[in-house]
Amino acid sequence: MIPDLPYFLSLFLSEADEINLPYKGRYFHAGGRYVCVGNPGLKETVISEFNLVRAFRIYYEKEAPAISGLCLEVDTTTSGGEGKAEAYIKRIEFLE
């Protein structure tokens, strides 16, 4: 469908999905993994720490390339309440 798509790891929060399990989506099975990093309650503050290099090595069985992009997205199509959601991102840090 899309040739030469780069590898990606998509981190998300969920009410019930298993934490740190690499899910494959409907498309991009070779290069895409979706990973739940927490199951917070409503209005709960969440701090997530995720080792991108280690996860990439485990999920793809190859050395991690340099990070070439960052995307923030909110998908509320299945959340009920007419798809309304609120989120506040205080800080994103890349630690070595």
**Residue-wise pLDDT tens digits, 39-65:** 988 888 888 889 999 999 999 999 988
Which has the higher per-residue pLDDT, 10 or 73?
Answer: 10
**Edge-to-edge, what's the strand order for the sheet holding 22-23?**
8-13, 32-38, 22-23
- Helix H or strand E encompassing 82: none
Residue 84 has pLDDT above 70, yes or no: no
Query: What gap in Å lies between CA 77 and CA 21, rounded to an integer?
Result: 22
> Can you give the pTM of this predicted structure?
0.77
pLDDT at 63: 93
pLDDT at 61: 92
Residue 82 has pLDDT above 80, yes or no: no
